[in-house]
């Protein structure tokens, strides 16, 4: 059934099998990222943070390199400063996210990390001179308030450090995404992912003298460690395929299945009990992300664009 309200706002209404495939890729990719987070959380009490990052990234690097070779893509990079900026920020963001998983609920860690789209919009305005709009400003305020609600309830508790570091993961994710906007102008997407995986793998090795002693877990723990990398790799491939089949704004909206699924997994697997701060803060964060994605689709936004062209 055709939805006239959706047409009026130009909301993402799938119109072809290709669109449905893109949505499926985004949804299942988001679910796999939640599965990866659950496995990383389960292992976080037995395996040091950056050993988890190394395992995740090494497997991702192997998978992405197989894709690169199969597609006959040369191992070449351009705009190295921006590519390095994206990879370094991504490495710090992943490390911060895995650290947060140690102490705070899975859903809260994922929600904090998903505050990055609104922060990315702010970074793009400041660094890339993109236009500031009312919608983006509202999203930034809403997202910041959502992060505060998620963090404030844990200040003064054992979870305080994890909550603050989880919020930092959003900041560095935003830095990585702003850099990504520039890096993908000259680099192929596969090579950008390859560079991030390589940075995370090598960067983790440099943390060995400062991290807790690394171990080589066997049995079920070993399978979980490998599974963290495998799920992350296939999630990345699915998300990349989804973004290729959909408009970026549409894809980002459907990607919010990830935090919802993560909250559910936290309740079922780890016995987490979401607080009012989780529900309200999470709603503000996800709503702000959707507002950023739809900001250029609103009727008044199109009117502003016409005014600028006239």
Each residue of 259-280: pLDDT tens digit?
888 888 888 888 888 888 888 8
Tokens of 132: 């500031």
| Position 248 pLDDT exceeds 50 | yes
pLDDT of residue 252: 66
204 has a pLDDT exceeding 90? yes
Domain annotation covers residue 205: yes
Per-residue model confidence (pLDDT) at position 303: 55
At which residue do the structure tokens 């709009």 appear? 133
Q: Please give the Cα distance from 130 to 125 (Å, whole number).
A: 4
Question: What CA dihedral angle connects 294, 110, 246 and 309, to 10 degrees?
Answer: 30
| 306 found inside a domain | no
Note whether residue 12 is domain-resident.
Answer: no
Domain membership flag for residue 1: no
Q: Which domain holds residue 198?
A: 17-301
Cβ atoms of 252 and 43 within 8 Å: the answer is: no
Q: What residues contact residue 1 under an 8 Å CB cut-off, 6+ apart?
A: none
Give Cα separations from 137 to 277, 284, 304 (angstroms).
22, 13, 16
Q: Is residue 9 part of a domain?
A: no
Between 269 and 12, where is the model more confident?
Answer: 269
Largest CA distance in the chain: 66
Q: pLDDT, tens digit, for every residue of 220-237?
A: 888 888 888 888 888 877
Average pLDDT, the chain: 79
Listed ranges 80-84, 118-122, 183-187; the one with the highest mean pLDDT: 80-84
Q: What is the dihedral of CA 270, 271, 277, 279, to 10 degrees?
A: 90
pLDDT in tens, 103-155: 888 888 888 887 776 777 777 777 767 777 777 778 778 878 888 877 776 76
Q: How many domains does the chain have?
A: 1
- Is residue 2 in some structural domain? no
What pTM was estimated for this model as a whole?
0.79
Residue 89, domain member (yes or no): yes
310 located within any domain = no
């Amino acid at each position: 059934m055709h939805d006239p309200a959706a047409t009026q706002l130009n909301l993402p209404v799938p119109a072809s099998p290709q669109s449905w495939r893109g949505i499926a890729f985004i949804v299942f990719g988001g679910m796999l990222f939640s599965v990866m987070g659950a496995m990383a959380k389960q292992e976080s009490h037995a395996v040091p943070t950056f050993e988890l990052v190394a395992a995740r990234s090494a497997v991702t690097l192997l998978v992405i390199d197989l894709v690169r070779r199969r597609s006959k893509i040369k191992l070449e990079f351009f705009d190295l400063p921006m590519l390095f900026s994206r990879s370094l920020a991504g490495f710090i963001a992943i490390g911060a996210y895995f650290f947060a998983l140690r102490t705070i609920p899975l859903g809260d860690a994922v929600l904090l990390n998903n505050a990055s789209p609104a922060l990315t919009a702010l970074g793009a305005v400041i660094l890339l001179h993109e236009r500031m709009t009312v919608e983006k400003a509202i999203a930034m305020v809403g997202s910041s308030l959502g992060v505060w609600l998620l963090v404030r309830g844990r200040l003064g508790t054992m979870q305080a450090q994890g909550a603050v570091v989880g919020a930092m993961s959003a900041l560095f994710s935003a830095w990585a995404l702003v850099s990504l906007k520039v890096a993908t102008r000259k680099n192929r997407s596969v090579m950008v992912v390859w560079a991030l995986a390589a940075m995370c793998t090598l960067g983790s090795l440099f943390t060995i003298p400062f991290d807790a002693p690394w171990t080589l877990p066997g049995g079920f723990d070993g399978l979980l460690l490998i599974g963290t990398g495998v799920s992350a790799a296939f999630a990345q491939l699915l998300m990349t395929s989804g973004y290729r089949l959909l408009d970026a704004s549409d894809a980002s909206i459907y990607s919010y299945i990830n935090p919802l699924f993560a909250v559910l997994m936290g309740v079922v697997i780890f016995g987490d009990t979401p607080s009012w701060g989780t529900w309200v803060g999470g709603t503000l964060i996800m709503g702000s992300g959707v507002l950023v994605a739809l900001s250029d689709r609103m009727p008044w936004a199109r009117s502003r664009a016409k005014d600028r062209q006239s």
